[in-house]
Structure formats: structure tokens, C-alpha cells
A = this chain, B = another copy of it.
Amino acid sequence: MTNTPLFIPVILGTPRQGRQSEHVAKFIVEQIATRDDVETELIDVRTIAIPTNDAGESIKDPQFSATVERADGLIIIAPEYNHGYPGLLKHLLDTCLKEYIHKAVGLCGVSAGAFGGTRVIENLLPVMRELGLVTIFYDLNFTNVQDLFDESGNLIDKQTYIRRLDKFMNELVWMSTVLRYGRQKVNQ
């Protein structure tokens, strides 16, 4: 089995002006850079121009598709909007299909309220499954997100979140590794 690093891009799931999720994404990408078993890159829904007069695979963005195709796993940062997922995140996710199959995903819920985006995570579960992704059973939750970062966009209580991210990444790396083995070695 290959020992090359896993490729696990981070999807920043909202284009909202003033989005706090951008700080969350920056933190996660920076922390992953300190690991030697994972490579990552940021995918920002704001910067991928897909049409809004259509939906689905017919408006696939070649670069997004290639990135997901190459990925062993994904991290999705999803702020909770009305207990559901951001529309433009779903609009993007729906443009691919086979690219996701038998890969791992870790979900990161972000909320201005007290419950850490737990509801957007529940709302994403059936979609993740239908895309062929395996959602790991440890989440990241950013509660009261507007209070978590300083003016420079750095986490105030960084050590707490590093510990949680480590636990999350360990599970995501395990699942991504196992599924990569499966895709490469186990006949379907």
C-alpha cells in the first residue's frame, strides 16, 4: 500500500460577506500544513464561478472536479443557515458525482449560536452519503464563532481547538487511508 501523503482539500462553504468561516478555514489549513501525512489546499466557493441558470454535472468546473478526483478525503466547513446548508455549497457539490465515491469527509459546523452547527451537520449527512462519501463520526463544531477569533482572525483559545482538530484529523486520516486502500486494492 502506498505511503504517499493523503490529499484532503478544505472546502470553505459560504461566500457570505463577513464570513467567520474564513478564519476557521485558515486555521485548519495552517494546522494541516504541520502534518507530514496530509497535503491540503483551500477550495473557496466564492471563487469558483459556476453558472446559476443550470444545476448538476452539466456545469462542472474542471478544476474543482480534478481536485476532488485527486482527493482522498474532504473537509467541509459549513456555516449553519436556517438549520440547513448554504445554498451555494450545495450548488457546487452537485456538480460532481463519481469524483466523491468511496472517499472520506469530515464535517465542520460553524454557528453564531450556542450549538456549533450541529444542525447543518445533520442536514448534510444524507447528501454526503448519496455522493458516495463516508462521513466520519467525529465533527468539529465552532460555537459562537463571532467570539472565537481576535482582530487578526486568529483563534483566541487556540490550544483547545488544536486538540479537537488533532482528534478530528486522526479519524479522518484513518478513514481516508482505509478507503484509499479499498479503492486501490479491493475489487468491486
Contact = CB atoms under 8 A, between A and B. Distances in A.
Nearest to A134: B134
A129 to B, nearest CB: 5
A116 interface: yes
Interface stretch (A62-70, A82-90, A147-155): A82-90
Interface in A101-128: 114-116, 118-119, 122-127
Interface string A49-60: 000111110100
Size class of the A contact interface (CB-based, 8 Å):
35 or more
A88 B88 CA distance: 7
A14 interface: yes
Q: Which 7 pairs, one residue from A and one from B, show the smallest C-beta to C-beta distance?
A: A87-B91, A178-B182, A87-B90, A83-B130, A84-B127, A16-B55, A87-B87
